[in-house]
Structure 1
Amino acid sequence: MADDDISIRTSGLNHWFGTGEARKQALFDIGLRIARGSFIVMVGPSGSGKTTLLTLLGCLREVQEGSVVLLGQELRHATTAQSVRLRRRLGFIFQAHNLHESLTARQNVMMGLQVKGRLNRETADEAAAHVLSILGLSDRLDYLPANLSGGQNQRVAIGRALVGNPDVVLADEPTAALDWETAAKVVDLLKQLGQARGTTTVMVTHDNRILDRADRILTLQDGRLVADDSRRV
C-alpha cells in the first residue's frame, strides 16, 4: 500500500503502565498498516491491550516508545495543538455512551459538531436529525437520555461520533448494548462510509456476530499482536 492509502501506521509500539517495581508492559512491538476506508476489528481476551492500543491510535494517550502515524501525522512528541487538530478528524464510540444528561438526543449529536468547530445551528440541527434517522431514532430526537433505553442511548453516542464525517472512527464495544438488527445496521453504516468517503473504522469487540463483516481481524493476546487475518483486504 502506498502511504496515501494508509490511515494508520505503527511500528515498534510499546506501552507501559505504572512506575518503578509496579511498572508493567501492556503492549509489545505492535506493527500495523491500516488502509484508508477499511473496517478493522480487534479481538482478544480482556486485558490483552485492545483498548490501550485504541486510545494510543486516537491521541488519548502519549506514545511512549515506537511510532504511531495517524492521517500522516507522527504522534510521538506531537504538540498539544497537533493532537487537538487530529482528534477533530476522529469519531470516538465508547461502550459507556457518556451522553450529557441535560441535553436531548439531537443536542447530544450536535455536540459532535461543536467539538470539531463546525457549529452552524441550522445545518447542525439538520445533520443531527439525519444521522439519528438513519439509526432508527427519528421519533426520539427530543428525548433526554433518562427517557431512552440503553441501546437507544448507545445509538445516540454512535450518531454523535459519525455526524462530523470523521476520517477515522475508533470504537470500543459499540454494539454491546444493541440487538442484532441494530448492530448490523451500525456496522453496515460504518462500512458504507468506508466505501463512499474513505472513512477508516477500528473497532474493539467481543461481539462475534460482526466478525464476518470485517475486512480484517486483528487478534491481541497479552499485549502482543498474535494474528492478523487480512484475507479480505
Structure 2
Amino acid sequence: MPDEDFSIQASALNHWFGVGEASKQALFDIDLRIKRGSFIVMVGPSGSGKTTLLTLLGCLREIQDGSVLLLGKELRNATSAQNVRLRRRLGFIFQAHNLHESLTARQNVLMGLQVKGYLDREASDKAAAHVLTLLGLSDRLDYLPANLSGGQKQRVAIGRALVGNPDVVLADEPTAALDWETAAKVVDLLKQLGQARATTTMMVTHDNRILDRADRILTLEDGRLAGDEDRIGKGLES
C-alpha cells in the first residue's frame, strides 16, 4: 500500500537485460523505502546496477518483476500516459548535460518548464533566471553552450532539472564536471529543496566529497543492495 511519508517504495525488484540464454540479471531483490525530502546517495563500483536502478525508479525502463511505488503510483504495468504524467513530477540530472546547442542557457532551462506544461512566459523567464542565479550563472543567462565551460553547461542542466520544483530529483554523477565549491553549492541547494519543499533527491556518485552531506548512503554491489547507512539518525527505513 502507498505510504505518503515515502516518495519511493520498491519491493522485490529484479531486472534483466537480454532474453533467453543471453539474459543477464542486473538487479536482485531490491527493497527500498525512501522518505520524502531526504537526500540519498547511491555508491558502488561501475556495473553494480546503480544507473539501472535509477532509470527504473524514474519511469525510464519497464518494471519486469517486483513492485515500485513512485509518489504513491505503481510503476509495474503502468501505461505510457501514466509514466508521462509521473515523469513531469521528476527532475533528471545526468553526467552528460544534453543541452541544445542552439539555445541559450536561459532557453535550455525554460525547456524544463515547457515539458511540464508551464505556459506563462514571463513567470517562466523569471523562474529560469532565478535558478541559474542560484547556481552562479547570473552573468551567463544568454550565453550559448558553445561559450560555456563544461562545469557551466552542467549547472545549466541542473537548473533545467530543478526549475519546475520536482517532487523527486534523480541524478546520475551530476557533480563529476564541477569543482568542489560549485559541487557543494549544488548539493546544498538540493538539500534546501528537501527541507523547504519535501523534494527527494537520489544521487548516484563516485564523488566521495558528497558523502558527508548525505542523509543516507546506499551501496550496490553486483546488483544487490549491500549497504544502507542512515547518516543523521532519522530512522529511515529500508
TM-score normalised over the length of structure 2: 0.96
Tell me the percent identity. Answer: 85
Residue 119 of structure 2 corresponds to 119
- What SS does the corresponding residue of 1:218 show, helix, strand or coil? strand
Deviation at residue 231 of structure 1 after TM alignment: 3.8
Contact between 2:8 and 2:71, CA under 8 Å: does it hold in 1? Answer: yes
Which sections of structure 2, spanning at least 5 residues, go unmatched? none
Residue 18 of structure 2 corresponds to 18
Deviation at residue 91 of structure 1 after TM alignment: 0.2
Deviation at residue 120 of structure 1 after TM alignment: 1.2
Quote the Cα distance in structure 2 between the aligned partners of 1:190 and 1:161: 11
Write the mapping of 1:1-233 to structure 2, written as runs, cut at 5 A: 3-232=3-232, 233=234
Quote the Cα distance in structure 2 between the aligned partners of 1:146 and 1:231: 40
Deviation sequence 1:123-154 (CA, Å, 0-9, x none):
11110000000000000000000110000000
- Report the number of matched residues: 232
TM-score normalised over the length of structure 1: 0.98
Deviation at residue 119 of structure 1 after TM alignment: 2.5
Quote the Cα distance in structure 2 between the aligned partners of 1:147 and 1:23: 44
Quote the Cα distance in structure 1 between the aligned partners of 2:16 and 2:230: 28
Residue identity opposite 2:78 in structure 1 = A
Which sections of structure 1, spanning at least 5 residues, go unmatched? none
Quote the Cα distance in structure 2 between the aligned partners of 1:230 and 1:11: 19
Residue identity opposite 2:189 in structure 1 = L
Quote the Cα distance in structure 2 between the aligned partners of 1:111 and 1:137: 17
Quote the Cα distance in structure 1 between the aligned partners of 2:15 and 2:180: 35
Quote the Cα distance in structure 2 between the aligned partners of 1:93 and 1:63: 21
Residue identity opposite 2:67 in structure 1 = S
Quote the Cα distance in structure 1 between the aligned partners of 2:202 and 2:12: 19
Residue identity opposite 1:185 in structure 2 = K
Residue identity opposite 2:90 in structure 1 = L
Deviation at residue 21 of structure 1 after TM alignment: 1.6
